[in-house]
A and B are shown apart, each in its own frame.
Chain A
Amino acid sequence: MKLRAVHRILGVLILILFSSSCASDLDYNQVYDIKLEPVFIANLAYFDIPADEFVTGGMEHTVITDAPTVDVFNDKFFRDNLKRVDLFFEVNNTINRGYRIDLVFLDRNNQPVHSTNFTVLAYTGVENIVTKTEVFENATLDLLKRTTKITFTLTMFAGPPLNENSTGSLKLRSGVTAYFVVE
Chain B
Amino acid sequence: MKKIIVVFVLFLSVKSISQNKQILYNFTSVPQSLLTNPGSDVKYNWYFGIPLLSGISTNVGSSGFSAYDLFADNGVDFNVKLRNVVFSTTRKDRVVLNEQIELFNGGFKIAGDQGDSYVSFGMYQEFDFMSYVPKDIAILALDGNRDYLGKVFNLGDLSVKAEMLSVFHLGFHKKINEKLILGARGKIYSSIYNANSTSNSGYIYTIPSTQGVYEQMIYSDLQLNTSGIAKYDDEDYEPNAVKDITKRAFLGGNLGLGFDAGLTYYPKKNIQLTASVIDLGFIKHTKEVESLTFKGAYKYEGVIPKFSSGNSAENGYQEFKDAIPLDTLYADYTTWRPTKFNTSIQFSFEEEVSEDCNCLNYDPETIYKSAVGAQLFVMSTPRTPLVAFTTYYRRKIFNSLQMKATYTIDSYSYKNIGLGLSSMFGPVNFYVLADNLLEYKDVTKANSLSFQLGLNVIFKNSKK
Contacts and interface: CB of A to CB of B under 8 A. Distances in A.
A173 B68 CA distance: 48
Contacts of A36: 5, 79, 141-142
Give the one of A35, A45, A90 with max B CB within 10 A: A45
Given A43-B301, A45-B302, A33 B434 contact: no
B70 to A, nearest CB: 8
Given A2-B400, A26-B68, A43-B302, A67 B312 contact: yes
Contact of B2 (A28, A37, A182): A182
Given A22-B442, A68-B312, A72-B317, A39 B143 contact: yes
Nearest to A90: B213
Given A5-B398, A174-B213, A175-B213, A53 B441 contact: no
Given A2-B400, A30-B78, A41-B206, A24 B305 contact: no
Q: How extensive is the interface on chain B, given as a class?
A: 35 or more
B449 to A, nearest CB: 10
A106 B1 CA distance: 28
B444 A26 contact: yes
Interface stretch (B6-14, B40-48, B343-351): B6-14
Interface stretch (B144-152, B237-245, B249-257, B360-368): B144-152
B235 interface: no
Interface in A73-93: 75, 77, 80-81, 88, 90
Interface string B184-210: 000000000000000000000010000
**Dominant secondary structure of chain A at its interface with chain B:** mixed
Interface stretch (A12-20, A107-115, A157-165): A12-20
A137 interface: no
A69 B314 CA distance: 7
A36 B142 CA distance: 5
A66 B5 contact: no
Nearest to A44: B302
Contacts of B415: none
B260 to A, nearest CB: 31
B423 interface: yes
B396 to A, nearest CB: 12
B314 A46 contact: no
Contacts of A38: 140-144
Contacts, number: 197
Given A24-B445, A80-B1, A150-B303, A10 B421 contact: yes
A120 interface: no
A69 B319 CA distance: 11
Contact of A64 (B67, B303, B307): B307
A139 interface: no
Given A69-B314, A81-B1, A175-B214, A34 B144 contact: no
A73 B402 CA distance: 69
Contacts of A81: 1
A126 interface: no
B197 to A, nearest CB: 21
Interface string B280-312: 000000000000000000001111111111111
A65 B78 CA distance: 50
A3 B303 contact: no
B72 interface: yes
B443 interface: yes
Contacts of B441: 20-22
Interface in B1-26: 1-2, 5-6, 9-10, 13
A70 to B, nearest CB: 6
A24 B442 contact: yes
14 contacts: A5-B398, A6-B397, A10-B423, A17-B437, A22-B442, A26-B68, A34-B6, A40-B146, A41-B145, A45-B303, A46-B212, A47-B305, A67-B311, A69-B303
Given A39-B146, A66-B307, A75-B317, 7 more contacts: A21-B442, A22-B441, A24-B73, A46-B302, A66-B305, A66-B309, A175-B214
Interface of B: 1-2, 5-6, 9-10, 13, 67-68, 71-73, 77-79, 81-82, 140-147, 149, 206, 211-214, 216, 300-312, 314-318, 397-401, 419, 421, 423, 425, 430, 432, 434, 437, 440-445
Interface of A: 2-3, 5-7, 9-10, 13-14, 17, 20-28, 30-49, 53, 64-72, 75, 77, 80-81, 88, 90, 150, 152, 154, 173-175, 177-178, 180, 182-183
